[in-house]
Amino acid sequence: MAAVRLLVLGVIRTRQPAHGYAVRRELLSWRAETWTNVKPGSIYHALKQLAQEGKLRALGTESSDQGPGRTLFELTEAGEAEFRRLMDAALVSIDMEELGAAIAFMDALPRAHVIAKLGEQRRNAAAVRDDLIAMIPTFPGRYEAPHMPDLLELWSGVFDNLTRWTDGLLERLESGEYHMPE
């Protein structure tokens, strides 16, 4: 759910004011359903919850020829704080949905901040990889279910790939690629 909240806040922050259908349309254009668990129902649920929490402010209803009126939202000060909190948590996360949502909006934060957070994420991924590799010798039953050495090698490979991918992104950020506030 954190990834959906971050995506909803990020799209509204970028396009504000925006209504739920515009958020949904934007996320569909990004094909976000292929790299997150975002679904139309989760978008509208997040909008309602964020508004109830005071993180979004309803500005009124925009009429529509295609159905009921659409409520326009903007971020409140609390919504901006929540966006930044979720970004910070997601940039250090090893959860692919959360990290993906943060990457989608990384250009909203200062370059040095993103680099520092991604450095932390890289260390987290490398630590998980190393812990998984260290566990392999403790499971001698490679040829018996559940074939733990093979599973540990699979998972450690995923985290090794994440570590190398993060290295590449950090190199691009450090060389000045991407338009970001300095």
pLDDT tens digits for 76-116?
999 999 999 999 999 999 999 999 999 999 999 999 999 99
The structure tokens listed for 160 are: 């090794």
**In this structure, what is the dihedral angle of CA atoms 85, 39, 161, 140, given to the nearest 10 degrees?**
110
CATH number, domain containing residue 22: 1.10.10.10
In a shared domain, residues 154 and 75: no
Which pair of tokens denotes residue 170?
Answer: 């950090």
Please provide the distance, in angstroms rounded to a whole number, between the alpha carbons at the two ends of the chain.
30
Q: Which of 62-66, 73-77, 167-171 has the lowest mean pLDDT?
A: 62-66
CA gap 90, 123 in Å, rounded: 14
Beta-ladder partners of 19: 72
End-of-domain residue from the set 80, 103, 126: 103
Domain boundary among 103, 122, 139: 103
pTM: 0.89
Question: Measured between alpha carbons, how far is residue 148 from residues 38, 102, 125, 135, 172 in Å?
Answer: 32, 32, 20, 9, 36
Mean pLDDT of 38-49: 90
Give the separation between CA 174 and CA 34, rounded to whole angstroms. 29
Strand partners of residue 61: 71
- Domain hosting residue 33, numbered range: 2-103
Q: Residue 63 has what pLDDT?
A: 66
In terms of domains, do 117 and 87 share one?
no
pLDDT tens, position by position, 3-38? 999 999 999 999 989 988 899 999 999 999 888 888
Instruction: Taking the CA atoms of 163, 166, 170 and 171 in sequence, report the sign of the dihedral they define.
Output: positive
